[in-house]
Amino acid sequence: MSFLEQRRPTPTNSPLLRAVTGPREPAVTPDRATMDAHLARSRYGRFTLTEAVRPGWQLDVVPQAGFRHDAYIDPSSGARIPALIAAVSSEDLFATFLELIEPLGDSCDVILESSHESATDRQELSREGIERLVLESMLWEYEDLLLNDGCASIAVLHPELSLEVQLDEHKLLVIYAQSRQPFERILRGRGLERNDRIRFISQGEHLHTSHGRHTRQFEQLATRLGAC
């Protein structure tokens, strides 16, 4: 996907929208009122989006809750790592993320990623060896950033095993694990159903949004974590 960024100078309390194109460009540009109404809509059936992202106005992908099996193929070694991808309604998303990192153990590594400055040159900061309960307590203070900033993501990793849980900038949950069953049980316990045909908001045209406060919050969280 290519990024089409609207980088006009904006006050720190105004949103910065980044349009992301999917397989095709919209044939017709909506008028301002139509687009404003679309951006104001966060609920689709029983699924509610966070403020971080919106689907393209033509709704190539209609947001819905659910998860599917997937896999990551290492381009250099060809190794295949099983994965789960899940979309969770905003009211349950943060608690689900924290529950998913419990199987990682008492100590974990953390990676923060930011595209506040540039969509193509991302900032990545990491912290190794933090107690999970300390991390969870800290993350609760930055729930707004992690849920509503379309330019920030977080990954929590097992320090030794190939186990990783991401809350990405689309506010999708992505889990990499050789054994998916513990994480799948958590998702099912949260009322999510497996649907390997589900399409996620990242697969179609969509918009990311961020605010000046999120840039400051990201910097504060990185400092609190001691991430570098």
Of 219, 215, 211, the C-alpha closest to 11 is 211
Distance from C-alpha of 126 to C-alpha of 128, rounded to nearest angstrom: 7
User: Amino acid identity, residue 188?
Assistant: R
| pLDDT, position 32 | 86
Of 154, 148, 178, 156, the C-alpha closest to 168 is 154
Structure tokens at 22: 């999917």
| pLDDT, position 66 | 97
Distance from C-alpha of 221 to C-alpha of 213, rounded to nearest angstrom: 12
Using CB atoms within 10 Å of the CB of residue 40, give its burial: 0 to 12 exposed, 13 to 18 middle, 19+ buried.
exposed
Of 219, 105, 124, the C-alpha closest to 164 is 105
pTM, rounded to two decimals:
0.86
Q: Please give the angle made by the CA atoms of 28, 31 and 35, to the nearest 5 degrees.
A: 95
Distance from C-alpha of 157 to C-alpha of 127, rounded to nearest angstrom: 10
Instruction: Give per-residue pLDDT as tens, 140-192.
Output: 999 999 999 999 999 999 999 889 999 999 999 999 999 999 999 999 999 99
Confidence of residue 116 (pLDDT cuts 50, 70, 90): confident
Mean pLDDT, rounded, for 218-223: 93
Give the mean pLDDT of the chain: 85
| pLDDT, position 23 | 47
Element (H, E) at 100: helix 90-100
Greater confidence, 117 or 43? 43
Using CB atoms within 10 Å of the CB of residue 97, give its burial: 0 to 12 exposed, 13 to 18 middle, 19+ buried.
buried
Using CB atoms within 10 Å of the CB of residue 147, give its burial: 0 to 12 exposed, 13 to 18 middle, 19+ buried.
middle
Q: Please give the angle made by the CA atoms of 121, 49 and 147, to the nearest 5 degrees.
A: 50
| pLDDT, position 166 | 96
